[in-house]
Amino acid sequence: MPVEFLSDEQAARYGRSHAAPSPEQLTRFFYLSPQDVGFLANYRRAYPQLGCVVQPGTLRFLGTFLPLPPQVPAVVVQTLAQQRHLPAEAWTDQYVRPNTLHDHQVQMVAYLGFVVFEGRQAFRLTRWL
């Protein structure tokens, strides 16, 4: 994706979460639909469930995955953990294995109907949710 029109600061901020989402943004991008809950049924342990609900939210919100999902704002984790009745601290130390992150990202992209945009880690929606 061409970024020549962005300032250096804007390019550095792309795809990163720099502030906690507003309550409206939490509701719009981090609310779990019944389909999301069904998708998560494949994950039995708390940390992959929480990791798998954080990643689609950040993908919807930012248009890309965070390089390290545990960098997501605490309010996002708390919101999602409450929806799944999971402890919010259940995932930060365990959800860091690169193969797990990659496998889950592939599954999320397919589930949400996103495709890689121009061979980069930016995505676009190919179907309406």
What's the token pair of residue 37?
Answer: 């809950």
1 falls within a domain: no
Q: What range does the domain containing 44 cover?
A: 8-125
Q: Is residue 3 part of a domain?
A: no
For residue 102, tell me if it sits in a domain.
yes
Any residues with CB less than 8 A from the CB of 103 and at least 6 apart, and which? none
pLDDT digits (tens, 9 = 90+) for 17-46: 667 889 999 999 888 889 888 888 888 887
Q: How many domains does the chain have?
A: 1
Q: Comparing C-alpha atoms, which of 67, 27, 54 is closest to residue 108?
A: 54
- What Å distances lie between residue 73 and 18, 60, 69, 76, 126, CA to CA? 8, 15, 10, 6, 27
127's CB contacts (< 8 A; 6+ apart) are 113
Q: Which of 69, 56, 77 is nearest to 129 (CA)?
A: 56
Residue 58 belongs to some domain of the structure: yes
Give domain status of residue 2, yes or no: no
* Residue 117 falls inside a structural domain: yes
Asked, for residue 34, whether it belongs to a domain, the answer is yes
Per-residue pLDDT of the chain (129 residues; tens, 9 = 90+): 555 666 776 555 555 566 788 999 999 988 888 988 888 888 888 778 888 888 888 888 887 787 777 778 889 889 988 998 888 876 766 777 788 888 888 888 888 887 766 555 545 444 444
- What are the CA-CA distances from residue 113 to residues 45, 99, 124 (Å)? 25, 21, 9
Contact status, residue 30 vs residue 61, Cβ threshold 8 Å: yes
* Residues comprising the chain, all counted: 129
Count CB-CB contacts under 10 A for residue 73. 15
